[in-house]
Structure formats: structure tokens, C-alpha cells
Amino acid sequence: MRYDLNLLPVFLALMEERSVTRAAARLGITQPALSNSLNRLRDTLRDPLFIRERYGIKPTQLAEEIAPTIEAALAQLDDLVLNQQEFQPANAERLFTLAPNSYVELVLMPGLVARTRELAPGIKLRMTAFGNDLAETGVISGTTAMVLGRIVDPPDNLVVQHLMDDGLACVVRKDHPDVRDRISREQYERLKHVNVLPPGRLRAGLFQALGQQNLKREVAVSVTHFLAVPEMLVVTDYCATLPSLICRSLERDSRLKVLPAPVDLGTFPVQMAWHVRYRHDPAHRWLRSMIGELAKEVTSEET
């Protein structure tokens, strides 16, 4: 029996996006072209495969049953083809969409941009929001190359790699009237605090660390990004508890001073995750190695 392998990526896109419009955009084809491919699939498999609903499409029982087999088959084909290809960074042209949380965007992405510009000038990087849910980043469907931050409860189709661990320290303004070379537990609990509430699970780590040490904190203001913290601190007597690598960059600000936390708040992990289909992609593998090297470098500089 003859069938068109080009129809299989269309099937997977529809399974993952549950929308003809989004699937067509993801594949870079028109909606009529996608509908034509779907009709051919329906004829081949003798099943509707997808039923229209109010807010998209729903796969039939047959589509649900065959989806894992088709995904596995395409992944094997990708591995076979990609393993025969050579990747030359200097001549490569490609766009990677990455979803770093705000911490990774500050700590690792500038180095990645600089290194990519030097070694692979034809590769372009696009940052998208980390979001509150992995599905929002696009990494589960594979439209986003990778997500970087704290990965919690990843699905089976994601590969997760641990990059590094970071600790926590405190920042206040340089001429703070009550804080000199250290912050005691009593001072910490007496001070008002600037809190960072970025999307994702990074914020949960600090709350858990404070809870484990039974350390109280009165939050006076919450912001959505680390970049807002210095300007809040220099005009107040507030304190901020931030990742150590963020604090290291703030040490260059003459208006601020960085101090150890009053108690050991432990560390938090930084991870990278990507869809299994990119496991053997040479360009993707090269980019992952760059990020891994940068993580080792920034943590070794800290120690």
C-alpha cells in the first residue's frame, strides 16, 4: 500500500494543537492545504480522525490510538536522517525559539547571544514567555525549541537536563540606616521586603525555603521582574532576597550592597527541557551544549 509520509506531520500537528488554524500556522501552510491533507488522511485511514467542536477539534478514538505509534515512527525517521547530517555552526541558518524564565534570561541568555553571534552568526534566537504552564511555552508541542527554568511535572515527551543550582542572598541600598555588614534574623523579619513574582515555579522555591526556616517576611511591594528590584531598593529602606547570581550582577551597582541571608536558605535547581523529537537534531544538540557550558562557567565564577 502506498501512502504519503508528508501527511503524518499534519496528523501530529492537529493532535497537539487541536486547532486547524494553529496547526496550519505551525506547519507554515495555508488552512485549505491542511484541510486537503486531512481529507487524504481520512480517506487512507477510513476514519474522520478529528471532529469539529465549538472551540477547536477533538480526535476520534482511532486518532487517539494511533497517535503514539505515528509520533514514535516519525521520531525514529528524524533520528535516522539527522544522524547522517553534519552541523557546521559557522554556516548554519536557523531560528530557535527559547522560553527562559526571567532568572535564566538575565543569567544565561546574554552569554548565549554573545557566543552564538561569534560561532554561528546565521542562527537567530527568539525569546518567548516562560509562562505559568509548560503547555503555554510551546515546548510540549515542539514549536518552542526548549524551556529553561524550574521544570515541574514534565510530560513523557520532554527530555529534562539539570543545568546548575543557585542559592539566595539579600540586597539593600548602600546607605541603608539599619543594615551594615550583615542582616540578622531579627532585622530580616523587621524590615519590609521587595518580592519578585515572575511566572513559573521559581517563586515557590523562595517561599518554601523561608517556610522551612520559619523565617517571616513582610512584603511591602511585589514586582514581576528582577530588573525592577534595584530601583525599588534605592528609594526605600526595603530588602530583597534574590538568587545569588542575580545578586552578583547587582554588586556592580554602587547604590546597592549584597549581604548573605540571615539563615541558610538552601539552593534551587535550574533545568532545561526539550521535546524528544529534537534529541538527535545536530543544531539543537549544539545549542544545548552551549547552554550547558555557560551554566558551568557562571557557577564556577561564583565559587
Q: What is the CATH number of the domain that holds 42?
A: 1.10.10.10
State pLDDT tens for residues 291-303: 999 999 999 876 5
**Mean pLDDT across 211-233:** 93
Q: How far is CA 76 from CA 14, 54, 71, 158, in A?
A: 20, 35, 9, 16
Q: How confident is the model at residue 147 (pLDDT cuts 50, 70, 90)?
A: very high
Q: How confident is the model at residue 56 (pLDDT cuts 50, 70, 90)?
A: confident
H or E stretch at 172: strand 168-173
Pair 65, 123 in one domain = no
Pair 145, 187 in one domain = no
Which pLDDT belongs to residue 13? 86
H or E stretch at 202: helix 202-212
* 157 occurs within a structural domain: yes
- Contact indicator for 143, 9 with CB cutoff of 8 Å: no
Which pLDDT belongs to residue 83? 59
Confidence check: pLDDT of 199 > 90: no
Share of the chain above pLDDT 70, in %: 93
Which pLDDT belongs to residue 220? 96
Confidence check: pLDDT of 201 > 60: no
Residues facing residue 99 across a β-bridge: 147
Task: Please state the domain count of the chain.
Answer: 3
Between 143 and 244, name the one with better pLDDT. Answer: 244
Confidence check: pLDDT of 48 > 90: yes
H or E stretch at 149: strand 146-149
Share of the chain above pLDDT 90, in %: 56
Pair 188, 221 in one domain = yes
Pair 200, 156 in one domain = no
Domain residues for the domain of 62 are 7-82
Which pLDDT belongs to residue 81? 65
* 126 occurs within a structural domain: yes
Which pLDDT belongs to residue 211? 86
Short-list 71, 85, 94, CA closest to 16: 71
pTM of the predicted structure, to 2 decimals: 0.73
Pair 127, 48 in one domain = no
Pair 154, 285 in one domain = yes
SS (H, E, C) 65-95: HHHHHHHHHHHHHHHHHHCCCCCCHHHCCEE
